[in-house]
Structures are given as C-alpha cells and as structure tokens.
C-alpha cells in the first residue's frame, strides 16, 4: 500500500490544517491529531481527515518518508493564504482568476 496525501483539520470552523501522508483516512487522523495537539486547539472528536485527490501529484512532492508522517509547514499561497495547490502566476491553482 502506498501513502496518500490527506488534510487533517480541527473541525469547523477550520483553524489549523496540516498535510498528512498516510495509508488510510483513519491513520491520517491519528497522525494529524498528534500534530494538531501541538497547536492546542483540537479535540479528538473534532479532528477530521480528508483525502486530497485534486493536486495529488503536487502534494506528493512534499513527502519526506515512506512512513506515515505530517508536514506542518506547507508553503502558503500569497493570494488566498491556503496551501494545497500548485503556484500559478501570483496565486495558486485554487484561486487563480478569482478576485
């Protein structure tokens, strides 16, 4: 089984989100929860993991190991202040063209 990119966040409203590489959503949630508790804002019951399929190739470039792990400091888009999409022009693939 190979690793897939997941976003793990602290529920709604979403305050903190980390990128986790894991085999399953359940595993991602566990790995991400350990990272989120460092931000002191998350309860296990609120923590959610969602597989990121849209920019999977781009996100896989941040993988650091073959074991499940978390990337806490992703480069953030200067326009929409989110991570997860490849840079395009002065923004990213998610916000390009939006005002």
Residue ranges in contact with Zn ion by CB under 5 A: 77, 79-80, 91-92, 94-95
Q: What CA–CA distance (Å, rounded) separates 87 from 83?
A: 9
SS3 70: strand
Q: What CA–CA distance (Å, rounded) separates 54 from 80?
A: 17
Q: Minimal distance in Å, beta carbon 83 to Zn ion?
A: 9
In terms of CB distance, is 71 or 93 closer to Zn ion? 93
Return the percent helix, strand and coil in the chain, to nearest 5. Answer: 20, 25, 55
Q: Minimal distance in Å, beta carbon 24 to Zn ion?
A: 28
In terms of CB distance, is 49 or 77 closer to Zn ion? 77
In terms of CB distance, is 31 or 77 closer to Zn ion? 77
Q: Minimal distance in Å, beta carbon 17 to Zn ion?
A: 14
């Amino acid at each position: 089984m190979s690793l897939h990119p997941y976003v793990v966040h602290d529920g709604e409203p979403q305050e903190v989100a980390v990128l986790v590489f894991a085999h399953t959503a359940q595993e991602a949630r566990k790995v991400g929860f350990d990272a989120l508790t460092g931000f002191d804002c998350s309860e296990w019951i609120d923590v959610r993991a969602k597989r990121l399929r849209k920019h999977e190739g781009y996100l896989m470039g941040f993988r650091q190991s073959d074991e499940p792990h978390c990337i806490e400091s992703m480069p953030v888009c200067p326009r929409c202040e989110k991570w997860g999409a490849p840079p395009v022009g002065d923004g990213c693939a998610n916000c390009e063209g939006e005002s």
